[in-house]
Structure 1
Amino acid sequence: MNIQIITKRPEEKNMSEVTKEYKKRLSGYCNLKIVEKADSQKAYKIFVNAKNKYITSEDLAKKLSDIMIDGNSDIAFFTGEKPDNTDYDFTLTSLEVSEDMKLCMLLEQIYRAFKINNNEAYHK
């Protein structure tokens, strides 16, 4: 599975360490790219900022599983502006958070979803 996260470049220095850690953790589950512009038109598009649809970790795990079962191997998560024609929308929190924090939260939720789908313990 190929996952792109389309977001602004992280502004805080420590975010690069967080990003590196989650890229390492996710490498066994997917190919992850964090970019400023989508490079796949065929990707399943998910907008992460809809203020009306909160989902649980289990909901996200099921959604990712369903996307894969439907034959989609490319997923693009958008955290900034909403692109045209999204396939799914959800929000991570009701709080106003920076793009950096949103990226961190999204990486953690994607990682948690893969752990759930593989029946693996999340906490070490």
Structure 2
Amino acid sequence: MNIKIVCVGKLKEKYLKQGISEYAKRLTKFCKFEIIEVPDEKAPEKLSSAEMEGVKTKEGIRIIDKLKDKEYVYALAIEGQERSSEEFAQELANLATYGHSDLAFVIGGSLGLSKAVMQRSNAQISFGRFTLPHQLMRMVLTEQIYRGFMINAGSPYHK
């Protein structure tokens, strides 16, 4: 299985880099895993609705450019469907069983994802209604992907 996370912006915090690196290393026994960063669009603090859409559109073009046609794409969005870790693990197993061995997870910038990215996605996933820093979300997502594989392997890691 090939899994990638496409995200907007650079990861700056050392502790997050270390955490993601640890889970990425653990994932190597289950899949090919990579994180692709696309540049964020520089924007002033106060934006009109039209300017916000413009920023999301530009970032969305960069994201879509990194997605392949054959990939099953998850968009991370507050309005997406919440899943338990067990439900997510089952979903990963089902996707692999039914020929979706290339997965991409998309984390947008601070303004969210463009309409085009949402339309390109096969599913939207939410980790709850909390607002989390996008950089922290990378680590949470990477850990949950690892947890999903561990659940499917029958490992006690999940307990």
TM-score (norm 1): 0.91
- Check if 1:51 corresponds to 2:59: no
Q: Among all aligned residue pairs of Structure 1 and Structure 2, give the percentage whose two residues are the same amino acid.
A: 31
Q: Work out whether residues 46 and 86 of structure 1, in 8 Å CA contact, stay in contact via their aligned partners in 2.
A: yes
Q: Work out whether residues 73 and 123 of structure 2, in 8 Å CA contact, stay in contact via their aligned partners in 1.
A: yes
The CA distance in 1 between the partners of 2:97 and 2:158, in whole Å, is 27
User: Unaligned stretches of 5+ in structure 2?
Assistant: 38-62
- Check if 1:88 corresponds to 2:123: yes
* SS across alignment from 1:49: strand
Q: CA RMSD in A?
A: 1.7
What is the match of residue 18 of structure 1?
Answer: 19
Equivalent residue in structure 2 for 1:74, among 99, 102, 110: 102
Moved beyond 3 Å, runs of 4+: none
Bigger radius of gyration: 2
Q: Work out whether residues 54 and 93 of structure 1, in 8 Å CA contact, stay in contact via their aligned partners in 2.
A: yes
The CA distance in 1 between the partners of 2:149 and 2:31, in whole Å, is 9
Offset of residue 112 of structure 1: 0.6
* SS across alignment from 2:157: coil
* SS across alignment from 2:94: helix
Q: Work out whether residues 61 and 116 of structure 1, in 8 Å CA contact, stay in contact via their aligned partners in 2.
A: yes
CA deviations over 1:8-41 (Å, ceiling 9, x no partner): 3212222211121011111101110000242423
Corresponding residue pairs, total: 124
- Check if 1:3 corresponds to 2:37: no
The CA distance in 2 between the partners of 1:79 and 1:56, in whole Å, is 19
- Check if 1:120 corresponds to 2:138: no
Q: Work out whether residues 46 and 89 of structure 1, in 8 Å CA contact, stay in contact via their aligned partners in 2.
A: yes
Distance 1:90 1:39, change over 3 A: closer
Offset of residue 53 of structure 1: 1.6
- Check if 1:29 corresponds to 2:34: no
User: Unaligned stretches of 5+ in structure 1?
Assistant: none
1 or 2, which has the higher helix percentage? 2
* SS across alignment from 2:16: helix
CA deviations over 1:88-118 (Å, ceiling 9, x no partner): 1110122101111111110111011000111
Q: Work out whether residues 147 and 158 of structure 2, in 8 Å CA contact, stay in contact via their aligned partners in 1.
A: no
Offset of residue 49 of structure 1: 1.6
